[in-house]
């Protein structure tokens, strides 16, 4: 497959669009922003929810072997000691000797991105966890950490889930939520931030079946992205060489996406063996094992983990959907998002501000709102309003005009083809349902 050439300005264009339309704003912007943190605006919050919902649907709703949890973000040091994070969740930190900027050594190829300097201090291990204090007392007893991944909540709740749901391997526990890493160099918009959202699933299997499930999850997760509209020529699988694996991993494959700066990670799928359950068993004194009654044997399941970023995936979906094309001789920007990810599914647009149109437009809006996230826009020319919706990724616009008062019908405009169809108001919900069906 040939690698497509991307518009060199794509990243800037998407960042601009995200700000202009209300997907993603720099956080605390009125105070000059805050260290690569971002806020999700009215469109962004809908889209991010849709990304997480699409993941939850495929991982939990459509399966009978995976259940969800929502664990705490704050955790005691014991969890992070057992998981290995206190000891090894570090990146190599170097200081440029010329400009004093700090960098993650493995990301700069020996040249300071700030000043071009090539001399650095010795690398030292910098722990990425945010440390804080729980309660009003200071000191070691009060130390807590913000989780740097959601996975540990699934391991510490392994027994709770096993006994309450009566599952047996193979089964999985899924979680979506915020994680925090004190990244040395957050970069590339929301690709790498210090506060981000993850979508992780720990799939517990009999050790003998681990490799098969590892392969299964690699292809299942790859297909999730293509199914939601990322073209196959902008995705690839990258299997880590044995010598590059983390200490706990028996195999890791990344789903990589072609970002404007090149191929980079979107999601990692790892065969973690029995590392996590064994570590927590030893440290807590609770045996995190499964007793197979039929075979009469007790064993520690292996874990296959597909670990994705929700905010990073949202960025990839935005980048992949961004297009500029020409409609009636005019250039337009259009986000060709899969409708499941679109912030609004439908925009109701009264053709003019005349009060006669308001009543029927509001009636159409109320009929659609129980089914679809809708926008309502009664300002500016209809052409400009279509452009706004195209840029927002809204798949369908419903225009109410003066004829609507007579014929009780509206015009449905398709974002991608710009084709317009007259549809009776009475059959509108059904018409849209036919257009937006789950693939
Ligand atoms: P890297 O090596 O790039 O720092 P990682 O391999 O440590 O990342 P994982 O621990 O495997 O990342 O995290 C799983 C997923 O969580 C990543 O594939 C990514 O989508 C997301 N993720 C991890 N760190 C960040 C971050 N700082 N900002 C946004 N998303 C992140």
165-190: b (≥16 Cβ within 10 Å) or e: eebbbbbbbbbbbebbbebbbbebbb
Q: If you average pLDDT over every residue of the chain, what do you get?
A: 96
Whether the link from the prior residue into 170 is cis, omega within 30° of 0, is yes
**Interval 351-374: pLDDT, tens:** 999 999 999 999 999 999 999 999
Alpha helices, H only, 228-297: 275-284
Q: What number is the average pLDDT over the span 243-269?
A: 95
Q: What number is the average pLDDT over the span 200-216?
A: 98
Q: What number is the average pLDDT over the span 176-201?
A: 96
Atom 13, ligand 1: residue with shortest CA distance: 307
Ranges assigned E (strand) in 207-261: 235-239, 251-259
- Tokens 């059959």 map to which residue? 427
- The SS3 of residue 111 is coil
Q: Is ligand 1 within 6 A of the CB of residue 89? A: no
DSSP code for 7: P
158 Cα: distance to centroid of ligand 1 (angstroms): 23
Angle at 272 (CA atoms; ends 271, 273), nearest 5 degrees = 95
Cα(81)–Cα(18) distance, integer angstroms: 39
Q: What number is the average pLDDT over the span 274-300?
A: 97
Q: Is the pTM of this model over 0.85?
A: yes
Q: Is ligand 1 within 6 A of the CB of residue 179? A: no
Cα(307)–Cα(329) distance, integer angstroms: 44
Q: Is ligand 1 within 6 A of the CB of residue 309? A: yes
Q: What number is the average pLDDT over the span 170-179?
A: 98
Ligand 1 pocket test target in 129, 268, 276 with most atoms within 8 Å of CB: 268
Ligand 1 pocket test target in 108, 307, 313 with most atoms within 8 Å of CB: 307
Q: Is ligand 1 within 6 A of the CB of residue 36? A: no
Phi and psi based region of residue 311 (left: phi greater than 0; alpha: psi -120 to 50; beta: remaining): alpha
Q: Is ligand 1 within 6 A of the CB of residue 104? A: no
Among 83-92, 137-146, 184-193, the minimum mean pLDDT is found in 137-146
Atom 12, ligand 1: residue with shortest CA distance: 268
Write down the pLDDT at residue 248: 85
Q: Is ligand 1 within 6 A of the CB of residue 272? A: no
The answer, yes or no, to whether residue 403 has pLDDT greater than 70, is yes
Q: What number is the average pLDDT over the span 95-114?
A: 93
Cα(329)–Cα(322) distance, integer angstroms: 19
Ligand 1 pocket test target in 52, 104, 198 with most atoms within 8 Å of CB: 198
How many other β-carbons are positioned within 10 Å of the β-carbon of residue 120?
20
The answer, yes or no, to whether residue 255 has pLDDT greater than 80, is yes
214-233: b (≥16 Cβ within 10 Å) or e: bebbbeebbebbeebbbeee
**Interval 13-33: pLDDT, tens:** 999 999 999 999 999 999 999
Write down the pLDDT at residue 217: 98
Q: What number is the average pLDDT over the span 88-100?
A: 94
Write down the pLDDT at residue 439: 57
Classify residue 367 as exposed, middle or buried by CB count within 10 Å of its CB (0-12, 13-18, 19+): middle
| Ligand 1 atom nearest 91 alpha carbon | 4
266 Cα: distance to centroid of ligand 1 (angstroms): 8
Find the radius of gyration of the CA atoms of the chain. Answer: 25
Q: Is ligand 1 within 6 A of the CB of residue 198? A: yes
Q: Is ligand 1 within 6 A of the CB of residue 150? A: no
189 Cα: distance to centroid of ligand 1 (angstroms): 14
């Amino acid at each position: 497959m040939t690698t497509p050439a991307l518009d060199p300005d794509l990243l800037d264009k998407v960042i601009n669009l995200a700000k202009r339309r209300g997907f993603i704003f720099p956080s605390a912007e009125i105070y000059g922003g805050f260290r690569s943190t971002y806020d999700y605006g009215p469109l962004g919050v809908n889209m991010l929810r849709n990304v997480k919902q699409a993941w939850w649907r495929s991982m939990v709703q459509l399966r009978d072997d995976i259940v969800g949890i929502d664990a705490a973000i704050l955790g005691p040091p014991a969890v992070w000691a057992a998981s290995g994070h206190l000891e090894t969740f570090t990146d190599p930190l170097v200081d440029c000797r010329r400009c004093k900027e700090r960098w993650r050594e493995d990301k700069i190829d020996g040249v300071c991105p700030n000043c071009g300097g090539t001399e650095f201090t010795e690398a030292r291990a910098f722990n990425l966890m945010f440390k804080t204090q729980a309660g009003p007392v200071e000191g070691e007893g009060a130390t807590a950490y913000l989780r740097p991944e959601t996975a540990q909540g699934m391991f510490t709740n392994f027994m709770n889930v096993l006994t309450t749901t009566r599952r047996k391997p193979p089964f999985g526990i899924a979680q979506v939520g915020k994680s925090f890493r004190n990244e040395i160099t957050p970069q590339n918009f929301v690709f790498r931030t210090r506060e981000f959202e993850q979508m992780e699933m720990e799939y517990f299997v009999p050790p003998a079946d681990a490799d098969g499930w590892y392969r299964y999850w690699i292809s299942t997760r790859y297909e999730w992205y293509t199914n939601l509209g990322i073209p196959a020529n902008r995705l690839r699988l990258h299997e880590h060489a044995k010598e590059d694996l983390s200490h706990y991993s028996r195999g890791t494959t990344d789903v990589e996406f072609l970002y404007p700066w090149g191929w980079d990670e979107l999601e990692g799928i790892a065969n973690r063996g029995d590392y996590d359950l064994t570590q927590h068993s030893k440290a807590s004194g609770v045996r995190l094992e499964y007793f197979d009654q039929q075979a009469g044997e007790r064993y520690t399941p292996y874990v296959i983990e597909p670990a994705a970023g929700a905010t990073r995936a949202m960025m990839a979906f935005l980048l992949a959907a961004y297009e500029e094309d020409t409609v009636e001789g005019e250039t337009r920007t259009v986000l060709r998002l899969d409708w499941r990810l679109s912030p609004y599914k439908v925009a109701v647009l009264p053709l003019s501000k005349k009060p006669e149109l308001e009543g029927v437009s509001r009636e159409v809006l109320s009929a659609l709102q129980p089914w679809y996230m809708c926008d309502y826009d009664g300002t500016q020319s209809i052409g400009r309003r279509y452009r706004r919706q195209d840029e927002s990724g809204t798949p369908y616009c419903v225009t109410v005009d003066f004829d609507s008062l007579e014929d009780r019908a509206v015009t449905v405009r398709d974002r991608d083809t710009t084709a317009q169809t007259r549809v009776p108001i009475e059959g509108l919900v059904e018409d849209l349902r036919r257009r937006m069906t789950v693939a």
